[in-house]
Structure 1
Amino acid sequence: MNRVLSALAPHSSKRISEYAQRHPGTVDLTVGLPAFGPPRSFDERLAMLSSAPHVNARPEDQYAHSRGAIELRAAIAHVYKSEQGVDLDPDTQILVTNGAAGALWIAVLTLTEPGDEVLLADPGYMIYPPMIELLGRRVVRIPTSPADGFRLHLSDLRSRLTQRSRVVLVNSPGNPTGRVSSEDELADLCAFAVEHGLYVVHDEVLDRFAYGIEHRSVVALDHQGVGIAVNGLSKRFGMSGWRIGWLASSSAVIAEAAKAHTFFMLAVSHAVQLAAAAALSDPKADGEVSVYAAEIRRRGEVFLADLARIPGLGKTTVPDGGFYAFVDVGEFARLRGIRVAESTSAAVAEYLLHECGVAVVPGSVFGRAGEGFVRMSFAGSAEQLDRAVKRLAG
């Protein structure tokens, strides 16, 4: 058995989420899933494909191109042109993967060798460290602080560089902090990467949920071939179950990533890719996403304002993007007399689950710098959020 895998214990957020599923009365704020589904154009194209007569073997019944159906790659390239102003060659600069998680896996595998180091912000998305370690790479966490909005500073990166440093993994809009890196920050990070022989992998899966600060993709700011964008449709179209993701980068990087993808997964569902292409090419669907994003932002503002009126829950960093509130719960634990054995985050999460019927994610699962916080998703319905606030206040 794989010793690295055996040593990985399921994180507490998974247990809390499963508890919420087993107890329907629980208000579940653990999962960041928008309360909307795929656009009609996706469903219509999928229905059309599945109802076509079986006279001969249909193309969509066969393996798709290992780099992805060209229709989808062309649609992705159009998205980057219209949203980021960058020209990407769909033939050579885009690779379709099994969700954004699959894209991350392929990116790290492609850009590093066993023993190499991947640098990432702490707190950061919980699946990054185990994914990196399972590939035999080393995780180097860079602590960030709520005092400056959890910004990743180049000076902190520089102080932790070694001869085995290969990749900086940045998540913007960020999960769990909601931080959106500015254009200048990303451009400076690309220049830093060029200077030190690194690559920048940018997880931008929450790109359509940026508030106030404009989302910029690393591939639009990188002129030296060091930037790799990871994205997908799970958040954009609320369709995490369909597993459509992609990598966008230089032709040289994608050529190598395509090899890894071919040997690991062969290809992604052909029919789903064609339906995804229809959705990405649909102007109406794009407009609906903008409406949904604005509504989620409004719900978040109301939710944060409501939390601020609850004693002990007012210290929350206002997110620049995404749909998570990262809440400092140290004072809340003290006011409610919550007994803390090792982790304030874990103790408060257990209290909220069993005493209030509200499921949240302990901030400690995102790294040491997340200790003392919990993550609450405001991607659900307004009614769900209202129930959560009433229970938290009571």
Structure 2
Amino acid sequence: MTLKIGIIGCGGIANGKHMPALSKLEEVEMVAFCDIEKERAEKAKEEYGSNDAKVYTDYLELLADQTIDLVHVCTPNNSHAEISIAGMESGKHVMCEKPMAKTSEEARQMLEACKRTGKKLTIGYQNRFRTDSEYLHEVCADGELGDIYLGKAHAIRRRAVPTWGVFLDEEAQGGGPLIDIGTHALDLTLWMMNNYKPKYVVGNTYHQLSKTKNAANAWGPWDPEKFTVEDSAFGFITMENGATIILESSWALNTLNVGEAQTELSGTKGGADMRDGLTINGEDRGLLYERKVELETGGVDFYDGEGSDPAVTEAKSWINAILTDTDPVVKPEEALVVTEILEAIYKSAKTNQPVFLDK
């Protein structure tokens, strides 16, 4: 069986992750491409589309095609919910790029649509599919670290502010580094801890370095006038069982302790961190130990070679879930909790008060 896929949003993340990964799978073909800029959709069709692939500028017209089995939503955050819900209601499975939605209410509406329609919904947290992440998840699931009561979610850039697209637009994105890269680190941490019950959140956001003119930056200086999101954000999350998660994220911060989509865990039997590859630590027979795990891949987003590319592994896993009618690795219920915590950090920062999430 060959699944027919429609791509909605043919910008950076579609070209950088989704379409290249899907093109490596024999079980699928990309038959429709939609973008508000028709030229981008046409370019995507030429590079990745089937011979009879169609191009749209209105996603509703794409969704009206009942021959399409699933769609990948690769648009700005403020349209994730609207398009994903419409996709499921049109009878299609949906892979939505992270974060799940701009707000937790929108994310809850997506989950409700998933349950109502019976279609599958997953969110693009590809860092779960890195070799180090998969290995550490097995370690945690096997109980090697014991009861994990402290997690640190690390997503820090020194000077790497994305200056293209709508990344700096709070209305379109809902935030800056916290919702962009902090979301990956938080998802990894929650997944490792298998703990999705936050009690309360305290957070701070900063607009300090965003005011800098002619700043040093990986993608060239940003315009301070258009930099309407935070440049860094930090959260302290207390879970219902008493566990603590510390989340730190930045696009611009005066620090040398950089790294993205990393987690550090401390449990009753051992600990682990991704700072320099993957290291497991603990105590054995009265002595402390560190075990460096030799992996083909390190702790970064993408790797050379098809076999170790987390984007390809993610795509394979997602398509397999549809073909075998099983749950996707990234469940919408889990992604919803990520969005709830991120939103609570932003709210806490604005109100200078803790935000309670336990229901």
Question: Same fold by TM-score, threshold 0.5 exceeded?
Answer: no
**Which structure has greater helix proportion?**
1
TM range (shorter): 0.3 to 0.5
**Which structure has greater strand proportion?**
2
TM-score (norm 2): 0.33
TM-score (norm 1): 0.31
Structure label with greater radius of gyration: 1
